[in-house]
A and B are shown apart, each in its own frame.
Chain A
Amino acid sequence: MTNRTLQFKIYRYDPDRDDAPRMQDYSVEVNPVTDRKLLDVLVKLKAQDDSLSFRRSCREGICGSDAMNINGKNGLACLTEVSTLKSPVVLRPLPGLPVIRDLIVDMTQFFKQYHSIKPYLINDTPPPERERLQSPEDREELNGLYECILCACCSTSCPSFWWNPDRFVGPAGLLNAYRFIADTRDEATSERLDDLNDPYRLFRCHTIMNCVDVCPKGLNPTLAIGKIKEMMVRRAV
């Protein structure tokens, strides 16, 4: 396997120096063995230009740091196979959130929505001395929910979240809301449903399903949102 040269167009903006954002061109030799993932190449680019700024940590798709918009689609740099990328590779920050610098966005609004759904187990019954029991079947209800890594790929690909980031919980927050609703150990289902029964918080989801398309963990927020809606209907009759 031989090296190939890959062209990049990367969104650059440093409020300390730049009046306005710009797209910067880069060219880099990619070794197909050692530069398999986009993050490997970004680290190489940073060695050439130390001002290029992006978040990264685990480099294995579990910490959720390096979400960005890659050739028009949100994804994690560390899970994106370089060989599948069309040149020039266009990298932009996640859409819809304020840019702090380069590929780094301000995630305050995203986490505010996550925090708004009370993302913790609510159970005021004094716990037993040992673990609370849960059947394997009941535990299975949490699969496809608890694996969320809060990377924000989904919420920042959702047009409803772009328009109402302050009022629509967004796919990540709602997936997590359902994670607690679905947990047989949680006693606050009714309050959780009350809280979401709102034209904006839940019902701005118009099942566009961009969230499902981009989730790097293969999760399905639309399905979780559908189940919340279903529970509301069932509760109403």
Chain B
Amino acid sequence: MSYSNIAVRKFDAVIVGAGGAGLRAAIQLSESGLKVAVLSKVFPTRSHTVAAQGGVSASLGNSEPDHWTWHMYDTVKGSDWLGDQDAIEFMCRKAPEVVVELEHFGMPFDRTDEGKIYQRPFGGHMSNFGEKPVRRACAAADRTGHAMLHALYQRNVRARTQFFVEWMALDLIRDADGHVLGVSALEMETGEVTIFHAKATIFATGGAGRIFASSTNAFINTGDGLGMAARAGIPLEDMEFWQFHPTGVAGAGVLITEGVRGEGGILRNASGERFMERYAPNAKDLASRDVVSRAMTTEINEGRGCGPHKDFVLLDITHLPPETIMKRLPGIREISIQFAGVDPIKAPIPVVPTCHYQMGGIPTNYKGQVVVPLGDDPAVPVPGFYAAGECACASVHGANRLGTNSLLDLLVFGKASGEAVVEDLKQMPAEHRPLPADAIERTRERLERLDARNGGESEYETRLALQRVMQAHCGVFRFKDKLAEGVEMILDVEQRVGKVSIKDKSKVWNTARVEALELDNLIEVAKATMISANARLESRGAHVRDDAPDTAERPNGRNDTEWLKHTLWSRDGNSLAYKPVKLEPLTVESIALKTRSY
């Protein structure tokens, strides 16, 4: 195929990704009357936001007193103080507004007897600065993400947003001054490449959980935005922090919401013991996710796991009234029957910690502008470039995300990035900045390589190798030697990725080509993760290493003197830099550093 005559289409803004963040940003832009293109690899309602289950957090206080400052405290503590407190304040303050807005868009939330939005308890959500569990997770049964994604898509139908469905963005286009001018993208149906030339580009491409062999993530979660950003010289922030969700279905990896424990579910080991009482005497099964995942892994490692291989624990809701399960957790019952072969009304569900969420990502400020270090300033906005949702790092999740803060992140920062684009465009000239002569070079080189090469590495085998290395060397517990070895191994995998060939050379809906192009993105995320993890010589949140143990001097192995800082990994030379954590919120007092316990 020749890529010499590339079509160019001009828009005010282009949004890459049509999950929660992309759709929320699109509403903002479409309703402002801007000409916006939304690109998505899948039909919008198939984006992975659809799989979120338990809820979206907001201190509405519909069932008991709550306050956004308590939400903020929980989020900072959950982040193990690595989250930026200005962004966290912004998110928690905005939460009631964006959730109510979503209800106005038509979101079918469950209701309290008074007709208000139903709220349930969730891991790490506490009242009065960590005292006792509080009902903060706003839910539509256990299908909150599905209900939310459809409501956001529907609002976009109303706003007549222009979608480019089943288009895969390939590379970010920047000019010599570093301005971002849009993306190149592949139309899957025809195999044609087009340049989307825009004054503003918002990445909302979601996570990259598919770098791990065992993941709750969809096939499409390949970190496309991170790969594109890294290739265009943007560093990636805090990529060593990955959340392992405590309750993935053993074997299948499919998610079982924390809402199950919110509704009263209990984790048990082989002897039936409620083991979380030993690890988190106060919050028990509703401790933060990193804490619960480590407790489960310890139980399994010490021989108290269940089943013939003692390799899982049990999530028990058999004590709950069947009506509660049918009403509040119907989707979970379906999933358990489908993927675990167990009806949770009658028997407990076998679960294991499973890779779930990427806390790091493309560095942004709380307005959703992408920021990079320049001279002495660690965070200078890249003109024309924005990011929101899981692909971005604002950073509100720090070293560990609280359950339901992901859906909140999509709403708050999807909206904020849209608002920032509307504002920033007012300052920009009416004309688009010209495309550089080499705008399509990187994309052309990647596509021609795939067209021309035969008899190289198999894409399937190479991706499997990548996932196995990440799983074995960068899991729930991390080990100094394993990490160092992992860095070498992932760099070897990178060599293989460079030699991948596909047999299918068709132009039409070539999924082999799409998967090979996705692998280019997965490898960037995998390198960033392994190299950042190998370098961070402390334990914090989801990153726990054997050579940074829990001691009296350094509780939980956290080392604030040396490591209270964000990692920035750059693709160029795999170099690492660091920037300070923003400990100052916008209007309230800083939440002081403290040892984390639940």
Chain A residues in 8 Å Cβ range of B503: 49-51
Chain A proximity of B447: nearest CB distance (Å): 16
Contact call B103/A63, Cβ cutoff below 8 A: no
Query: Closest residue to B147 on the A side, CB-wise?
Result: A146
B502: contacting residue among A50, A133, A138, CB under 8 A: A50
Q: Within 8 Å of chain A (Cβ to Cβ): is B219?
A: yes
Chain B proximity of A81: nearest CB distance (Å): 8
Contact call B251/A62, Cβ cutoff below 8 A: no
Contact call A130/B339, Cβ cutoff below 8 A: no
Contact call B46/A57, Cβ cutoff below 8 A: yes
Chain B contact patch, size range = 35 or more
Chain A proximity of B140: nearest CB distance (Å): 8
Chain B residues in 8 Å Cβ range of A34: 251
Contact with B along A123-148 (1 / 0, CB 8 A): 10001011111111011001000110
Q: Within 8 Å of chain B (Cβ to Cβ): is A221?
A: no
Q: Using a CB-CB cutoff of 8 Å, which residues 18-48 of chain B contact chain A?
A: 42-43, 45-48
Could you tell me the distance between the alpha carbons of A34 and B464 in the complex, rounded to whole angstroms?
15
Chain A residues in 8 Å Cβ range of B335: 60-61
Q: Within 8 Å of chain A (Cβ to Cβ): is B113?
A: yes
Could you tell me the distance between the alpha carbons of A62 and B51 in the complex, rounded to whole angstroms?
6
Q: Within 8 Å of chain B (Cβ to Cβ): is A46?
A: yes
Chain A proximity of B390: nearest CB distance (Å): 15
Given contacts A60-B254, A115-B157, A127-B104, contact A135 B111 (CB under 8 A): yes
Contact call A54/B511, Cβ cutoff below 8 A: yes
Could you tell me the distance between the alpha carbons of A153 and B189 in the complex, rounded to whole angstroms?
21
Contact with B along A42-84 (1 / 0, CB 8 A): 0000110111011111111111110000000000000100000
Contact call B115/A135, Cβ cutoff below 8 A: yes
Q: Within 8 Å of chain A (Cβ to Cβ): is B284?
A: no
B504: contacting residue among A50, A79, A118, A136, CB under 8 A: A50
Given contacts A57-B48, A120-B154, A134-B111, contact A51 B116 (CB under 8 A): no
Could you tell me the distance between the alpha carbons of A49 and B100 in the complex, rounded to whole angstroms?
49
Contact call B45/A59, Cβ cutoff below 8 A: no
Contact call B113/A136, Cβ cutoff below 8 A: yes
Q: Within 8 Å of chain B (Cβ to Cβ): is A185?
A: yes
Contact call B143/A147, Cβ cutoff below 8 A: yes
Most buried by A among B143, B155, B218, B509: B509
B219: contacting residue among A57, A138, A183, CB under 8 A: A57
Chain A residues in 8 Å Cβ range of B508: 14-16, 100-101
Contact call B105/A63, Cβ cutoff below 8 A: no
Given contacts A16-B506, A58-B50, A131-B109, contact A119 B154 (CB under 8 A): yes
Q: Within 8 Å of chain B (Cβ to Cβ): is A234?
A: no
Contact call A51/B506, Cβ cutoff below 8 A: yes
Q: Within 8 Å of chain A (Cβ to Cβ): is B460?
A: yes
Q: Within 8 Å of chain A (Cβ to Cβ): is B106?
A: yes
Query: Closest residue to B510 on the A side, CB-wise?
Result: A53
> Can you list 25 A-B contacts with CB-CB less than 8 angstroms, sorted by A residue number?
A14-B506, A33-B251, A36-B252, A51-B512, A58-B50, A100-B508, A119-B154, A121-B105, A121-B154, A127-B104, A130-B60, A130-B100, A131-B60, A131-B103, A131-B109, A132-B103, A132-B104, A134-B115, A136-B110, A136-B115, A139-B110, A146-B140, A147-B143, A149-B50, A185-B106
Residues of A whose CB lies within 8 Å of any CB of B are 14-17, 33-34, 36, 46-47, 49-51, 53-65, 79, 100-102, 104, 107, 111, 115, 118-121, 123, 127, 129-136, 138-139, 142, 146-147, 149-150, 180, 183, 185-186
Q: Sorted from nearest, which 9 A-B pairs have the closest CB atoms?
A: A121-B106, A133-B115, A50-B512, A51-B504, A120-B154, A63-B46, A131-B103, A47-B460, A120-B158
Residues of B whose CB lies within 8 Å of any CB of A are 42-43, 45-48, 50-51, 60, 100, 103-106, 108-117, 140, 143, 146-147, 150-151, 154-155, 157-158, 189, 218-220, 251-252, 254-255, 331, 334-335, 338-339, 458-461, 502-504, 506-512
Given A47-B461, A62-B143, A135-B115, 16 more pairs with CB closer than 8 A? A55-B42, A58-B219, A59-B218, A60-B255, A60-B335, A60-B338, A62-B146, A62-B331, A104-B509, A115-B157, A119-B157, A129-B100, A131-B117, A133-B116, A136-B110, A138-B111
